[in-house]
Each structure stands twice: as structure tokens, then as C-alpha cells.
Amino acid sequence: MRWLTVGGALAAVLVGTSVFAVGGIWASLPMIGFFISASMLPRALRRSHQTEQRTARQVVANGLAPTLCCWGILLYPEHEASFWSGYAASLTAAAADTWATEFGMCYADTAWHIITGKRVPKGTSGAVSFIGTLSGAFGAVMVGSLTMPLLPPYPLQSLLICSLGVGGMRLDSLLGATLQARYQCTSCGVEGEQPICCDAPAVLVRGVRWMDNDMVNLLSTLTAAAVGIAIG
């Protein structure tokens, strides 16, 4: 399993150097702010299945969209402003989702399914909570304000970027409630996100097989980036 850790580190180095090479310290700050806040947020209640492999995938899930925006600046320098807007939007969305998940898991008493509105156990994909939403919005504003030096001095655009972050968080919940794979164990009957349970493959009961939590994160941050680029 060791190479996965190296893979994760390589992914982080690739993301970090791309961002720093293209945008220097001002572009790196919101990225650093996101990663520090994401790792400092309450670790104790993180889902226990987060192994080294998931950490490596997590870097890509949250880091690919902003990195692509940096590469876009290298390829099309004439569209730099638009790509920075996409960069800011994808990072802000990643932050909103991470903050919402961590705080919601730790402190929410009640969670609701984003589509049906029914009460569901917190941590269920597609579950939203008041505390989670509030914390996500706070995370969006925190990382969003760090992206301000990258954006033209229009207060409206910064506000739009933060709203995009919150929108990305909502899209994440929506995808989690619809497309994300959900499995049921054939021996213990437990339903969850893991394709393996009781040492045996579990049956897919909903969603798309390859659509796991990281894939949902990736799609949401890529969508936020695309909308951010369009706004920019």
C-alpha cells in the first residue's frame, strides 16, 4: 500500500508546484488555507474507512480542478482572469463541502435528505444539516476571501465566487443522493458506500458503480470551476 502514499504525495506536489509556478504566493494562499483547514478540522469523527488510498484520491478529487485552471493559464494566458475565477470557485466549493461534511458529522443533531426532505442519519450521502450548511458557507467565505487578490477588485465577483462554493456543496449533496453508488451486504444486510462488506462483494442497490465519494467531489469541483470560468 506504500506506493499509494507516495502517489498521494506526488499528486500533492504536482498540485502545489502547478499553483505556485503559475500564480506564486497569492494563488497558493487559498490552496494552503483549504488544505490546512481540511486537515485540522475534527479528525476524530472522520469516517473510519479513510485509508491511505482515499487520502491519495482525495488530493486529486479536490486538487484537480484548481490545477487544471492553472494549466489553462499556461496554455491560454489571454484568458487568465477567467481561469483565476474558475480556480477560486473550485477551491471555494471544495472548502464548503469539506467544512460542511466535517462540522455536520461532528455537531449536527438532525440531518435531512436533500431531495426527499426526510430525516436521515447524518453522514449519509445526500444528507444535509443546518450546522453543516452554515459551516460550509463559513468555509466558502474563509477560502473565498483568500482568493480575492486573484480576482479583479469587484466585490460582486467575490460574492459570486462564495455563492458558487455553496452551490458546489449543494451539487455535491445532490450527486451524493442520486448518482453515488450505494451497496448492500449480502451477509449482514448493512447498506453503505463500501463495495466490500463481510469480506465479500456487496450488491449495488443505487447509483453508478464507479461513482464514489471522491468522484462526486471531483465532479462538483470541476463544475464549480467551469461556472467560475464562465463568470470570469
Query: 206 to each of 116, 194, 211, how far by Cα in Å?
Result: 15, 12, 10
**Cell reading at 154:** 469587484
What is the nearest approach in angstroms of Zn ion to the Cβ of residue 6? 31
| 197 contributes a contact to Zn ion by CB under 5 A | yes
Binding mask 176-195 toward Zn ion (x if CB under 5 A, else -) reads ---------x--x-------
115 is an interface residue for Zn ion by CB under 5 A = no
Can residue 74 be called a binding residue for Zn ion (CB under 5 A)? no
Measured from the CB of residue 184, what is the shortest distance to Zn ion in angstroms? 9
Min dist. Cβ of residue 52 to Zn ion (A): 23
Q: Reading across the β-sheet that carries 191-192, which strands appear in turn?
A: 191-192, 182-184, 203-206
Task: Give the cell for residue 71.
Answer: 494549466
**Interacting stretch for Zn ion, rule CB under 5 A, among 2-10, 13-21, 132-140, 198-206?**
198-206
List beta partners, residue 192. Answer: 183
Q: Nearer Cβ to Zn ion, position 42 or 201?
A: 201
- The answer to whether residues 147 and 91 touch, using CB atoms and an 8 Å cutoff, is yes
The values of phi and psi at residue 183, to 5°, are: -120, 155
Quote the cell numbers at residue 98: 469539506
In terms of CB distance, is 185 or 226 closer to Zn ion?
185
Residue number, 203 or 230, with CB nearest to Zn ion: 203
Q: What would the x/- binding string for Zn ion be over residues 139 to 178, using CB under 5 A?
A: ----------------------------------------
- Whether the CB-CB separation of 173 and 219 falls below 8 Å is answered with no
Nearer of residues 174 and 185 to Zn ion, judged by Cβ? 185
- Beta carbons of 61 and 68 less than 8 angstroms apart: no
CB of residue 24 vs Zn ion: minimum separation in angstroms? Answer: 50
The rounded distance, in Å, linking the Cα atoms of 180 and 174 is: 9
Q: Determine the size of the site formed for Zn ion (CB under 5 A).
A: 4
Which residue number, 121 or 155, has a Cβ lying nearer to Zn ion? 121
Among 10, 74, 198, 203, binds Zn ion (CB under 5 A): 198
Residue 208 has phi, psi (to 5 degrees) of: -110, 135
| Per-residue H/E/C for 154-167 | CHHHHHHHHHHHHH
Cβ distance to Zn ion smaller for residue 159 or 188: 188
Which stretches of the chain bind Zn ion, using CB under 5 A?
185, 188, 197-198
